[in-house]
Amino acid sequence: MELIVALGLIAFKVALLIAILLLLPLPLTWLERKIAGRMQQRMGPMRVGWHGLLQPVADGIKLLTKEDHIPAEADRFLFKLAPILALTPPFVVFVAIPFGETVSVLGAEITLYVSNMNVALLFVFAVIGLEVYGVIFGGWAANSKYAVLGSLRTCAQMISYEIPMGFAVIGVVMLAQSMSLLEIVRAQADVWNVVYQPVGFFVFFVAGLAEAQRIPFDLAEAEGDLGAGFHTEYSGIRFAFFMVSEYAIVLLVSVLVVILFFGGWNGILVPLPPLLWFLLKVAFFVYLFIWFRFTFPRYRYDQLMAIGWKVLLPLSMANIIITGVALGAVAAP
């Protein structure tokens, strides 16, 4: 009986998570267009609903009813598989992400995470790595030069930025002495990691921007020179899948930054509910992503590679060494 209740609870949490992640791109696109408009002294969407609030719904209906076109020369199986492959990893990653400590609802203790893995961080990086497949397959299967170029760029970019990203969190793991995200947040109860690991945060955030393929690293879908990158040939609901996965990754990177470097649900100064603190911090980083997008131009491809390999990688390695030396000096009698 307990097993059934536990399984039911997990199934409920997973369903809730999927629903939230699928619906969240709606307000996020609205927010992005609104912020873009305001920054460019426009108004953004205004006509559907109050201040265009229903615009994402209208866009969703439009995408659903549009022709789902598959190019004649495309590899049909891979073409259909790619959006699903791109959509799945960001959703899977959220299984390992904690949103808070245990809360008691109606007398029952409910944990605000699906599972507390002791190697959650490793799991997160392993699954994010799979994201590349959707992009490569999408670009390759479309049999179009823009798509192939876009997916080649994305592929090189994601693989080279995963390395500094992975190195950047090692400092955090050293501080928390654990790879469990829950333990990492608990270790930051007094001082947030960003105080000890500013370089780590910087490297992680920049690499995160590149992983999410946002400006200034959105080479993959540089609409000016590539059409739309790897999803040039996608339309309708398959295109929407790519879009949803993109927003899910933006959200994921924000959540990871908050958990790893900004104390997760630990608040400062103002006593707010932990979950609210967590959401506020995530919202700030999502805003930062949008803000960056409408401020910065795009890096050139060689600059992108140079930043990844010549700046971020040495920085993250130096960060590991310095953290190790400092920890050793503190631990030494």
- Rule CB under 8 A: which residues touch other proteins? 35, 37-43, 46-47, 291-292, 294-296
From the CB of 193, what's the least distance to other proteins, in Å? 20
User: Cβ closer to other proteins: 244 or 290?
Assistant: 290
Look up tokens 């994402």; give the residue: 56
From the CB of 315, what's the least distance to other proteins, in Å? 11
From the CB of 263, what's the least distance to other proteins, in Å? 23
User: Cβ closer to other proteins: 9 or 46?
Assistant: 46
Residue 166 identity (one-letter amino acid): G
User: Cβ closer to other proteins: 95 or 199?
Assistant: 199
b/e sequence 162-186, b meaning 16+ C-beta within 10 Å: bbbbbbbbbbbbbbbebbbbbbbbe
Query: How much helix, strand and coil, in percent to the nearest 5, is found in the chain?
Result: 70, 0, 25
- Sign of the alpha-carbon dihedral angle for 280, 13, 89, 204: positive
Task: Please name the helix (run of DSSP H) or strand (run of DSSP E) that holds residue 92, with its range, or none.
Answer: helix 76-93
User: Cβ closer to other proteins: 35 or 54?
Assistant: 35
User: Cβ closer to other proteins: 42 or 62?
Assistant: 42
Q: Which residues contact 18 (CB under 8 A, 6 or more apart)?
A: 91
User: Cβ closer to other proteins: 125 or 291?
Assistant: 291
150-153's contacts with Cβ under 8 Å and 24+ in sequence apart are 150/220, 150/221, 150/222, 150/226, 150/227, 150/228, 150/229, 150/230, 150/231, 150/232, 151/220, 151/229, 151/230, 153/219, 153/220, 153/226, 153/229, 153/301
Q: What angle do CA 234, 237, 240 make, to 5 degrees?
A: 80
From the CB of 48, what's the least distance to other proteins, in Å? 12
Look up tokens 């992400």; give the residue: 97
User: Cβ closer to other proteins: 287 or 301?
Assistant: 287
From the CB of 32, what's the least distance to other proteins, in Å? 13
From the CB of 122, what's the least distance to other proteins, in Å? 31
Contact yes or no for 208/253 (Cβ under 8 A): yes
From the CB of 310, what's the least distance to other proteins, in Å? 15
